[in-house]
Amino acid sequence: MILTTWNINGVKARLESALTYLRQHSPDVVCLQEIKSVDDAFPTPDFQDLGYNVATNGQKGFNGVAILSKSPLEDVVRGLPGDDSDQHARWIEASVPLGNRMMRVVSLYLPNGNPIGTEKFAYKLAWMTRMRRRAEQLLEDEMPLVLAGDFNVIPESVDAKRPAAWVNDALFQSESRAAWRTLVNEGFTDATRACHPGPGVYTFWDYQAGAFQKDDGIRIDHILLSSQAADLLVSSGIDRATRAQEKPSDHVPVWIKLAA
């Protein structure tokens, strides 16, 4: 099984790029973030024509997440539990077949949190606490679990070309990174780092100042695997070529291959 996560930065703006990517790579499951579309306006028929079942948790103009699967999606949950007042569309989860069992898949778009010292940063940290609590609940089911998406966290200095440029950014604050480590320590494997431990592994390049041409990137799009899923990990990769296309997303697809 191939599972891919991609912050698409507007599904309507990148629709043709997304469809081309799916035709070329044909992943079995796709987690999308920042679809920037309400559910009714999501181009579901275009993805169905490629054989995908579609579940979305959309929002007008910003945020929004989706899961696409060649197999039926079961037990879909929209929204991160723990705060009924939070109306941001940042979380969707569903079960998909994996061989002769089921796997739980989450597509998530963690808050950016900037500027630090504001309610936006407090919201980011509170969201991460809720995410960890939900992850703990899902781990209790003991089925393979995948948390995939734009975490908006640079875990370590090696995950940035120029770490010093991010010291005042919410993505690289000690609180954000500590919350990441607390989540990972629940028993998750960082799939990209398990396969690519060295430097120069990035998933995001800003649109400004020729960042992509300079390879001035950061790694903020992650796939975390429970122990049951990590046991099935075959390989992982990052498809940088999409960032060089015309009108690209500033993020690129990250993928894993699991043994069914």
Contacts of residue 196, Cβ cutoff 8 Å, sequence gap at least 6? 236, 237, 238
Which of 28, 190, 221, 251 is labelled catalytic? 251
Tell me, yes or no, if 251 is annotated catalytic: yes
CATH of domain 2-258: 3.60.10.10
Cα dist from 91 to 18, 42, 78, 80, whole Å: 20, 16, 6, 5
Cross-strand bridge partners of residue 98: 101
Task: Give the pLDDT confidence of 153-195 residue by residue, as tens digits.
Answer: 999 999 999 999 999 999 999 999 999 999 999 999 999 999 9
Residue 124 has pLDDT above 90, yes or no: yes
What's the whole-number mean pLDDT along residues 123-148? 98
Mean pLDDT of the chain: 97
Known binding residues for Mg(2+) are: 7, 34, 150, 152, 250-251
Name the residue ranges covered by the structural domains of the chain: 2-258
Please tell me which residue in 28, 150, 169, 221 is annotated as part of the active site: 150
Residue tagged active-site, from 21, 109, 159, 202? 109
Q: Please state, for a pLDDT cut of 70, what percent of the chain lies above it.
A: 100
Q: What residue numbers does the annotated binding site cover?
A: 7, 34, 150, 152, 250-251
Q: Residue 123 belongs to what H/E stretch?
A: helix 119-139
Report the pLDDT averaged over residues 125-151.
Answer: 98
- What pLDDT does residue 260 have? 81
- Against a cut of 0.85, is the pTM above it? yes
State residue 67's pLDDT score.
Answer: 99
pLDDT band of residue 45 (cuts 50, 70, 90) is very high
Active site residue 150: yes
Does 125 have pLDDT greater than 90? yes
Q: Which of 76, 74, 27 is nearest to 50 (CA)?
A: 27
Q: How far apart are CA 152 and CA 80, in angstroms?
A: 16
Q: What is the mean pLDDT of residues 100-108?
A: 97
The span from the CA of 81 to the CA of 91, in Å, is 9
pLDDT tens by residue, 181-235? 999 999 999 999 999 999 999 999 999 989 999 999 999 999 999 999 999 999 9
- Which residues, in sequence order, are CB contacts of 243 under 8 Å at separation 6+? 205, 212, 249, 250, 252
